[in-house]
Amino acid sequence: MKKGILLILTGASSVGKGDIRDLLMADQELHLFYSISMTTRPQRENEVDGKDYYFVDYEAFAQAVKNKELLEFAEFDGYYYGTPRKQIDFLLNSGKNVLIEVEAQGVGQIKLKHPEAVSVFVMPESIEELEKQIRKRYNDEASAMRRISKASVEMELAPLFVHQVKNTDPMQAKEQIKAFVTEAMEKE
């Protein structure tokens, strides 16, 4: 059986990865399955456990790390986020294409285990536009400044990615990413 394609979507904080992810997931030609991450962050009112994230306590997360059950993991703002390895391996080995949306710092961990993965760094239209988006999304100055600082560090990682897509228009960015995935599918 042909192995599936692993698509890693990353980029600076608040750059619009979620909008692009939703467009990619809706594209029937890509046959993508979305990988649900595990987190120690508290569940928000509109989130569903097992759909948006697997919400766990710190002890369960630490146990998953210890048991090497995570493909990657990262910390932000005192909370941990990680990608369960078992579901990714199962889907890929079943010939399914999988989309993972992760923090830029986690991509290296995944690429070590899946060097063939298609990894895409989503760039902002401009640094000024990104700061504006962050300030609009986070009302308090402390949260906004943490995100802006995090985004500037993440932007420094962009040159390490073969595939970079500027998010001036989410549909256009989705089409560029689709071309990268289609090319990888044709090589398999």
Q: pTM for this structure?
A: 0.88
Q: Sketch the domain layout of the chain as residue ranges.
A: 6-187
The pLDDT tens digits of the residues spanning 93-118 come to 999 999 999 888 888 889 889 999 99
The pLDDT tens digits of the residues spanning 58-68 come to 999 999 999 99
The answer on pLDDT for 164 being more than 80 is yes
Identity (one letter) of the amino acid at 88?
Answer: I
Residue of 127 and 8 predicted with greater confidence: 8
Average model confidence (pLDDT) across the chain:
91
Q: What is the mean pLDDT of residues 10-32?
A: 92
Residues in Cβ contact with 106 at an 8 Å cutoff, skipping those fewer than 6 apart = 10, 72, 73, 74, 81, 82, 83
* CATH architecture type of domain 6-187: 3-Layer(aba) Sandwich (3.40)
The answer on pLDDT for 188 being more than 70 is no
Cβ atoms of residues 13 and 124 within 8 Å: no
CB atoms within 10 A of CB 90: 13
